[in-house]
A and B are shown apart, each in its own frame.
Chain A
Amino acid sequence: MRLADDERALSRVLLAPAVLYIALLVGGPFVLAIIYSLTSISLGGHSFNFVGLQNFQAALRDPSFRRALGNTVLFAFVSQILVLVLASVLAIALQREFRGKWLVRLLILLPWVAPISLGTIGWLWIFDSIYSVINWTLRYLHIFGATTWPIWLGQPKLAMVSIVTVQVWRTLPLATVILLGGLSGIPQDIHDAAEVDGARFFRHMFQITIPLVLPISLVATLFGFVFAFTDMIVVYVLTRGGPFDTTQVLASLAFFKSVDGGDLGGGAAVALFLLPVLAAAAVGMLHMARRAEVT
């Protein structure tokens, strides 16, 4: 076996699975999506007629698409800002020693390990128009009257709030764990030094702790952002884009268009609107990864 002794050939062979994986599972579908978006292909069709930018133009004409585009941005930004804030608070709280800390950690991690569709179905029940746990509780506490209460998933704004809530609930554990890792990566000496140097809580937090976890929390946020940008499961389970397409995001709209509606080309065009944002995010991540290497 000469290969085993040839460093360069061996390194190529060992890298090949990774390259193949990227090419087949990432590159392939990506190229396919671009091709689809320029054709009139349908789910069951063999016709591959080139239609230029027609699919994109059709998408832009569609008010549901414009709404979905706005929703996607809103959904990604708002959920990630909330996640960043909440994850920071949680991570800092979890760093301290207290009784039952392991239990709290476990509870916070649970949403991450539970299958998301199960979790979201739980939320479906929480937001249900008839059996909503929140509503029954608040009615019991006499905060809502006997006849009216909010229909969480039935009013466009409330529905969006509900969706963002579930997304936050869902991505919070990972962000918390990443931040917790970042926090425990700061040597205790640094904290001690800051304390001896006279830093009080806020100075310590904003001039020492936060700047030191910033790089890793940026990575976490960016991941969460890309994740939120491309994800549809919460929308799919909670509202299926309703009421009347006001909570549709690009990913769910693309899904409904292509898999349910059969219009693969149109769906691909909708999905490809994600591309510029994701490309920017990818560049950002690469940049940060490089910086992290230097440090």
Chain B
Amino acid sequence: MATVETKNIRKVFQEHTAVDGVDLQTREGEFLVLLGPSGCGKTTLLRMIAGLERQTSGDILIGGRVVNEMPPRERKIAMVFQSYALYPHMTVAKNIAFPLKAQGAEPKTIDARVKTAASMFGIERLLQRKPRQLSGGERQRVALARAMVREPDVFLLDEPLSNLDAKLRHMARDELQQFQRRLKTTTVYVTHDQVEAMGLGDRIAVMSAGKVRQLGRPQEVYDDPADTFVAGFLGSPPMQFFENDGALVGFRAENLLPKAVYSSNEPLVSFWYRVTRVEDLGADRLLYGSLRDLAPDTKMIVNLPSTIHVPLTPGEAYEFACKVNDLKFFDPKTGLRIPSRPLRGKA
């Protein structure tokens, strides 16, 4: 068990700054997700933690020790790559055994631990196969088995699910989480997929342009984005903004509901919403339209759960409302959150 800590880590490739002063600290046994669009520096950060890339400046600590000068093998980490990076010329058994052999473990121990690892991932019957004879899901399990077999202090996972098809990905996500909960090994997980991040992470670090924009529990990051980037990156559709009185006001599509739905004792803000189109998706209804009085020119989407049966006709305006707390205010120049304030103008 160990924590991972980065102190003001920077990585500069020639002209381009990939990671720009990141301070992060995991907790014991935590599942920390690095989330961000491609090119945001998350993979570089992970590779620096692994020791595959040398940071330009700053310190990396694993289990409280500074590991800057240590090669990967001394950092007590295991890594799963996006491509799985299985050794194509070795059988599954040899792939899993490789880290143990490199440690110089006894053949007996190796055997036993390979078996344990294989059974943990249900791949015992694949042990004598070569990687090219496996499906994508099977390869991913072998990669995980190879990573956990020598019981590292930290798991580093680089988009391990992105090569799986959508159906498999759901299951794999679930397995992955169960497995991590069971082992309680500190895990740093890189992904660009917010659903994965929300579903897996104890905490999420949202990254952009080499910086961590926000670190927090999934719900925190979702509900209380620190800036417009985080707000706009998470959620489907992402948070929507309109200008009001020199501030950017954001809300999520699912937070705006017909006023009639709310019980009367909640503090609400209400809007007139003009519906232009209705999309019935079964579980939800997506409404396209705009805030008639506050921002008539900005398209806004509203997501109504199908449990709300209010009839809505395109072309008509209705009175919608959201809780006061669901409106988030941002500085339009810096994009940073600012304290809530009353809306101005006629709602």
On A, residues with C-beta under 8 Å from B are: 187, 189-190, 192-200, 203, 207-208, 211-212, 295
Expressed in whole angstroms, the minimum distance between the Cβ of A207 and any Cβ of chain B is 8
Q: Which residue of chain A has its CB nearest to the CB of B73?
A: A198
Cβ contacts under 8 Å, B85 to chain A? 187, 189-190, 192-193
Expressed in whole angstroms, the minimum distance between the Cβ of A185 and any Cβ of chain B is 11
Given known A-B contacts A196-B77, A197-B73, A197-B146, A190 and B103 have beta carbons under 8 A apart: no
CA distance A203 to B90 in the complex (A): 14
Expressed in whole angstroms, the minimum distance between the Cβ of A153 and any Cβ of chain B is 44
Given known A-B contacts A192-B52, A212-B88, A199 and B102 have beta carbons under 8 A apart: yes
Most buried by A among B78, B99, B102: B102
Cβ contacts under 8 Å, B321 to chain A? none
CA distance A96 to B146 in the complex (A): 28
Asked if B99 and A197 make an inter-chain contact with CB atoms under 8 angstroms apart, the answer reads yes
On B, residues with C-beta under 8 Å from A are: 47, 50-52, 71-73, 77-79, 81-83, 85-89, 98-99, 101-103, 132, 146, 150
Cβ contacts under 8 Å, A196 to chain B? 50-52, 72-73, 77-79
Most buried by B among A187, A196, A207, A295: A196
Interface of A is mostly: helix
Expressed in whole angstroms, the minimum distance between the Cβ of B76 and any Cβ of chain A is 10
Expressed in whole angstroms, the minimum distance between the Cβ of A94 and any Cβ of chain B is 21
List 16 extra interface pairs beyond A197-B73, A203-B101, CB under 8 A: A187-B83, A189-B82, A192-B79, A193-B86, A194-B98, A195-B71, A196-B72, A197-B98, A197-B99, A198-B72, A198-B99, A198-B103, A199-B102, A208-B87, A211-B89, A295-B88
CA distance A195 to B103 in the complex (A): 12
13 A-B pairs with C-beta separation under 8 A = A187-B83, A193-B79, A193-B87, A195-B72, A198-B72, A198-B99, A198-B102, A198-B103, A198-B150, A199-B73, A200-B73, A203-B101, A208-B87
Most buried by B among A192, A198, A200, A211: A198
CA distance A187 to B86 in the complex (A): 10
Residue of B50, B101, B132 near A295 (CB, 8 A) is: B132
Asked if A189 and B81 make an inter-chain contact with CB atoms under 8 angstroms apart, the answer reads yes
Cβ contacts under 8 Å, A211 to chain B? 89
Asked if B81 and A192 make an inter-chain contact with CB atoms under 8 angstroms apart, the answer reads yes
Given known A-B contacts A196-B72, A198-B103, A199-B102, A190 and B78 have beta carbons under 8 A apart: no
Asked if A197 and B102 make an inter-chain contact with CB atoms under 8 angstroms apart, the answer reads yes
Asked if B98 and A189 make an inter-chain contact with CB atoms under 8 angstroms apart, the answer reads no
Asked if B88 and A195 make an inter-chain contact with CB atoms under 8 angstroms apart, the answer reads no
Cβ contacts under 8 Å, A208 to chain B? 87
Q: Which residue of chain B has its CB nearest to the CB of A295?
A: B132
Asked if B87 and A190 make an inter-chain contact with CB atoms under 8 angstroms apart, the answer reads yes
Q: Which residue of chain B has its CB nearest to the CB of A211?
A: B89
Expressed in whole angstroms, the minimum distance between the Cβ of B215 and any Cβ of chain A is 25
CA distance A88 to B79 in the complex (A): 29
Q: Which 3 residue pairs are nearest across A and B when measured between Cβ atoms?
A: A198-B102, A189-B85, A193-B85
CA distance A295 to B132 in the complex (A): 8
CA distance A136 to B78 in the complex (A): 58
Expressed in whole angstroms, the minimum distance between the Cβ of B157 and any Cβ of chain A is 12
Asked if B132 and A195 make an inter-chain contact with CB atoms under 8 angstroms apart, the answer reads no
Asked if B81 and A193 make an inter-chain contact with CB atoms under 8 angstroms apart, the answer reads yes
